[in-house]
Amino acid sequence: MKTFFGLIGAGGHGREVMPMLRKMIEGKNAGLDCELLFVVENLEQETEINGYRAISLKAFFDLEGTKRFNIAIGNSSVRQRIAEVCLAQEIEPFALIANSVILLDNNEIGDACMISEQTIITSNVRIGRFFQANCQCNISHDCVIGDYVTFAPGVKCNGNVTIGDHAYIGAGALIKQGQYGKPLMIGAGAVVGMGAVVTKDVAPNTIVVGNPARPMVK
Ligand SMILES: CC(C)(COP(=O)(O)OP(=O)(O)OC[C@H]1O[C@@H](n2cnc3c(N)ncnc32)[C@H](O)[C@@H]1OP(=O)(O)O)[C@@H](O)C(=O)NCCC(=O)NCCS
């Protein structure tokens, strides 16, 4: 039976991630009868994007065969909503870990992660479901990262940092290490701006920017 790998989202991130998915499938599932396709939630008409078929979410659900999905959408609330719709259809997510990703010892990574090229996750890291890390991120020992967390390109997260669900860490942010038994905490739903240097805990649902990072005042 044919397997369809539906990559939900064909925006910038989706189009960056599709070639990583293709290389991963070629490496691990050579010979599998499969099709990789973009899935765009409310697409009115089937089309082609970068040489791949693009279909609506409904058309994806209607395909005959085995279906697997992951979601290349940075907004974690949208990601969660769409994940719940797919899981309710009993479609299993797949993990996307680019071939150049380095994972060292004893990491636990939840379902449906999407980890892009040249990211390094060292040892004893725990990460929840539907985590996204863009290219060239570093995540060091003993970090604990929640569900639906998003790392933009080039985030450097040192050891012993705990990050709550739905937090967003902007491009090139640097996060100082915590201590054993006293991790640096970034609260659920917090946003760390691009280029921020985080030296202290960040409260939940707070936006911080700058060096050292401070709550953003508009
Ligand atoms: C922090 C952030 C969420 C704020 O977004 P926003 O609410 O739309 O903010 P605005 O663009 O309206 O900027 C508000 C003020 O904050 C400043 N600012 C915005 N982002 C900043 C940052 N990362 N560092 C320092 N200052 C920043 C702006 O210059 C502006 O200052 P001003 O009022 O003096 O002109 C956003 O700028 C950011 O950093 N997002 C992450 C982007 C990213 O990593 N993208 C990766 C794509 S793959």
Instruction: Tell which CATH classification among 3.30.565.10, 2.30.130.30, 3.30.70.420, 2.160.10.10 matches the domain 95-208.
Output: 2.160.10.10
DSSP string, 191-211: EEPTT-EE-S-B-TT-EEETT
Whether the ω angle into residue 212 lies within 30 degrees of 0, i.e. cis, is yes
Q: Is the CB of 187 under 6 A from ligand 1?
A: no
Q: What is the pLDDT of residue 1?
A: 87
In this predicted structure, the answer to whether residue 30 has a pLDDT above a threshold of 80 is no
The answer on pLDDT for 116 being more than 80 is yes
Helix/strand/coil for 92: strand
189 lines ligand 1 (CB under 6 A): no
With the most atoms of ligand 1 within 8 angstroms of its CB, the residue from 114, 137, 209 to mutate is 209
| Pocket flag, ligand 1, residue 212 (CB < 6 Å) | no
Q: 10 Å Cβ neighbour count for 26?
A: 12
Q: Which residues pair with 120 in a beta bridge?
A: 102, 138
Q: What is the pLDDT of residues 152-195, one digit of tens each?
A: 999 999 999 999 999 999 999 999 999 999 999 999 999 999 99
CATH of 3-94, one of 1.10.3720.10, 3.40.50.20, 3.90.1150.10, 3.40.190.10: 3.40.50.20
**Percent of the chain whose pLDDT exceeds 70:** 100
Q: Is the pTM of this model over 0.95?
A: yes
Protein residue with least CA distance to atom 4, ligand 1: 193
Ligand 1 center from residue 209 Cα (angstroms): 7
Check 13, 79, 129, 141 and give the catalytic one.
141
Residues of the chain within CATH 3.40.50.20 domain(s) are 3-94
Does 152 contact ligand 1 (Cβ within 6 A)? yes
Smallest CA separation from ligand 1 atom 28, residue: 218
Question: Taking a C-beta distance cutoff of 8 angstroms, is the pair 207, 196 a contact?
Answer: no
Which band of pLDDT confidence, cut at 50, 70 and 90, is reported for residue 28?
A: confident
Would residue 141 show up in a list of annotated catalytic residues for this protein? Answer: yes
